[in-house]
């Protein structure tokens, strides 16, 4: 029996035949339904511009659902219930007339949740049409990323939405905030006094955040080439992770308390400009190489590519936070496509003991590390130093884990997809896991100054072979400070 009760609502997915909706949103809604987390009266509306019959489109949604939900989770009864809730309506998002028909489909009870899985350019028009159809008052809007391309364009999108919706009914998605282990960062930090006293520049030497993907760009070249890895990943996912690691304890768990603390971190980020650009940031672009032993093309050889593009598919950088807690503690961020494995991981490196008494050749291995693995194999491990066993080992040290692997420790508990949690929280009216307008804007202004620096300097991305950990200069970025990327990978 579910512990959480959720009120009935109507959830309308705009862009219901798009990749995100088919791959992520409908499977997540199905899983919520299967877990008894949707109210019996909740309705799901698929809205799309594509021509064709409603039956054909509903059939296509079901086909994708069967493909993207693990076979073991496809239960006939749950599936039938889910499909009974779902209806389809053809809607031209820019035309007001269709919204009258939409309003007729929305029952008087419960809020309307309007999920915009469309290009941000049409968010404003959808909001205006919802308002004209008399729906705005009872609607929560969910905005997918990317919200804009830079500070100015993100303001345009946010302002267009704000004309009709107050901030407390706007839910901006960063799906990393819905991941189980990201949620756990809050519990780890603020429910364990053990860490809080250590969580500052007195005890921590540096922090690494790696978000690596094995895939290349494939079918998304058109979108990705206009964005690049800095806008696509750093501006949102990696900066959000940095904020959760670096923020001060909020006074409570309310959305605004947490978001106020995150904004303080973003405001304290030192801009990377001038000479620092060359030493603190590395842009890369993958060239042909190997993935799982198979040859794969370079970024400039993918289908429908522009062979002269200088868009980056990899970024490594050193970020510094100018406040008491983090002064002198670099945060090394690294993210790229076509890396050797899919891996999202945060490593907190603790400082060495003040006086070292063991064998000098072991000194480099010394130091506690807290490794927080977001994916795959979600878990947390604290690397501690112990003595190697055996009479012949003397005082030879060994670094071993105190480990918490979520799937092994709690075998029966399924780790939900980020979208399941996020959709559930929108239905509950909880904005904790959603990004406030000022957070997005501070993140954009920090990234904008970096991009402007690249443009001024004409900095071209450094090549790296597909299947490698990025350009050599990303290694130099951290070794220059006498450190190395955490070697367990």
Binding residues vs ligand BG6 (CB under 6 A): 213, 232, 344
Residue 175 Cβ vs ligand BG6, minimum distance, rounded to whole Å: 6
Nearer Cβ to ligand BG6 (231/383): 231
Residue 417 Cβ vs ligand BG6, minimum distance, rounded to whole Å: 9
Residue 29 Cβ vs ligand BG6, minimum distance, rounded to whole Å: 18
Nearer Cβ to ligand BG6 (344/468): 344
Of 57, 149, 175, 237, which is the active-site residue? 237
Residue 337 Cβ vs ligand BG6, minimum distance, rounded to whole Å: 7
Give the phi and the psi of residue 344 in degrees, each rounded to 5. -125, 120
**Residues 30, 53: Cα–Cα separation, whole Å:** 22
**Residues 7, 111: Cα–Cα separation, whole Å:** 9
Residue 373 Cβ vs ligand BG6, minimum distance, rounded to whole Å: 13
Active site residue 206: no
Nearer Cβ to ligand BG6 (128/232): 232
Nearer Cβ to ligand BG6 (6/374): 374
Nearer Cβ to ligand BG6 (10/344): 344
**Residues 367, 370: Cα–Cα separation, whole Å:** 10
Nearer Cβ to ligand BG6 (56/489): 489
Residue that the structure tokens 């946010």 belong to: 158
Residue 176 Cβ vs ligand BG6, minimum distance, rounded to whole Å: 7
Nearer Cβ to ligand BG6 (205/344): 344
Nearer Cβ to ligand BG6 (20/37): 20
Residue 229 Cβ vs ligand BG6, minimum distance, rounded to whole Å: 8
**Residues 249, 163: Cα–Cα separation, whole Å:** 33
Residue 344 Cβ vs ligand BG6, minimum distance, rounded to whole Å: 6
Nearer Cβ to ligand BG6 (23/49): 23
**Residues 118, 93: Cα–Cα separation, whole Å:** 10
* Residue nearest ligand BG6, CB atom distance: 232
HEC profile for the chain? CCCCCCCCCEEEEECCCCHHHHHHHHHHHHHHHHCCCCCCCCEEEEEECCCCCHHHHHHHHHHHHHHHCCHHHCCHHHHHHHHHHEEEEECCCCCCHHHHHHHHHCCCCCCEEEEECCCHHHHHHHHHHHHHCCCHHHEEEEECCCCCCCHHHHHHHHHHHHCCCCHHHEEECCHHHHCHHHHHHHHHHHCCHHHHCCCCCCCEEEEEEEEECCCCCHHHHHHHHHHCHHHHHHHHHHHHHHHHHHCCCCCCCCHHHHHHHHHHHHHHECCCCCCHHHHHEEEEEEECEEECCEEECCHHHCCCCCCCCCCCCEEEEEECECCCCCCCCCEEEEEECCCCCCEEEEEEEECCCCCCCCCHHHHHHCCCEEEEEEECCCEEEEEEEEECCCHHHCCCEEEEEEEEEHHHHCCCCCCCCHHHHHHHHHHHCCCCCCCCHHHHHHHHHHHHHHHHHHHHHCCCCEEEECCCCCCHHHHHHHHCCCCCCCCCC
Residue 463: exposure state from Cβ atoms within 10 A (0-12, 13-18, ≥19) = middle
Nearer Cβ to ligand BG6 (131/213): 213
Count of C-beta atoms within a 10 Å radius of residue 12 = 26
Residue 462 Cβ vs ligand BG6, minimum distance, rounded to whole Å: 20
Task: Provide the β-strand partners of residue 471.
Answer: none
Residue 157 Cβ vs ligand BG6, minimum distance, rounded to whole Å: 16
Residue that the structure tokens 């004309």 belong to: 163
Known catalytic residues are: 237
């Amino acid at each position: 029996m579910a512990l959480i009760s959720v009120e009935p609502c109507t959830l309308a997915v705009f862009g219901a035949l798009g990749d995100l909706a088919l791959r992520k949103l409908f499977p997540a809604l199905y899983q919520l339904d299967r877990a008894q987390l949707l109210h019996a009266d909740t309705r799901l509306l698929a809205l799309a511009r594509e021509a064709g019959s409603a039956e054909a489109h509903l059939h296509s949604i079901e086909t994708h659902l069967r493909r993207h939900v693990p076979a073991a989770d496809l239960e006939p009864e749950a599936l039938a219930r889910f499909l009974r809730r779902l209806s389809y309506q053809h809607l031209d998002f820019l035309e007001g007339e269709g919204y009258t028909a939409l309003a007729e489909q929305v029952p008087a009870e419960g809020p309307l949740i309007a999920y915009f899985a469309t290009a941000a350019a049409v968010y404003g028009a959808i909001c205006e049409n919802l308002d004209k159809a008399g729906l705005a008052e009872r609607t929560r809007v969910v905005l997918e990323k990317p919200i804009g391309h830079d500070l100015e364009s993100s303001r345009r999108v946010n302002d267009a939405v704000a004309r009709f919706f107050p901030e407390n009914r706007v839910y901006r998605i960063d799906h990393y905030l819905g991941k189980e282990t990201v949620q756990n960062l809050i519990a780890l930090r603020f429910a364990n006094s053990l860490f809080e006293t250590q969580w500052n520049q007195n005890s921590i030497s540096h922090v690494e955040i790696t978000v690596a993907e094995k895939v290349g760009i494939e079918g998304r070249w058109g979108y990705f080439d206009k964005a690049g890895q800095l806008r696509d990943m750093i501006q949102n996912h990696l900066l959000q992770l940095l904020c959760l690691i670096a923020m001060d304890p909020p006074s409570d768990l309310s959305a605004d308390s947490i978001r106020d603390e995150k904004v303080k971190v973003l405001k304290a980020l030192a801009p990377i400009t001038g000479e620092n650009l060359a030493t603190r940031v590395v842009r890369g672009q993958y060239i042909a190489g190997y993935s799982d032993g198979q040859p794969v093309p370079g970024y400039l050889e993918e289908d429908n590519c522009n062979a002269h593009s200088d868009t980056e598919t990899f970024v490594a950088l050193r970020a510094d936070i100018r406040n008491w807690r983090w002064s002198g503690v670099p945060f090394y961020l690294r993210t790229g496509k076509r890396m050797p494995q899919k891996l999202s991981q945060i490593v907190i490196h603790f400082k060495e003991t003040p006086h070292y008494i063991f064998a000098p050749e072991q000194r480099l291995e010394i130091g506690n590390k807290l490794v927080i693995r977001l994916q795959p194999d979600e878990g947390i491990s604290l690397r501690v130093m112990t003595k190697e066993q055996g009479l012949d080992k003397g005082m030879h040290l060994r670094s071993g884990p105190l480990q918490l692997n979520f799937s092994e420790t709690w075998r029966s508990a399924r780790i939900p997809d980020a979208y399941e949690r996020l959709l559930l929280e929108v239905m509950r009216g909880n904005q904790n896991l959603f990004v406030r307008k000022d957070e997005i804007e501070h993140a954009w202004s920090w990234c904008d100054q970096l991009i402007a620096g690249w443009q001024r300097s004409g900095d071209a991305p450094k090549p790296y072979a597909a299947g490698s950990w990025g350009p050599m200069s990303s290694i130099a970025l951290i070794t220059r400070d006498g450190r190395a990327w955490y070697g367990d990978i």
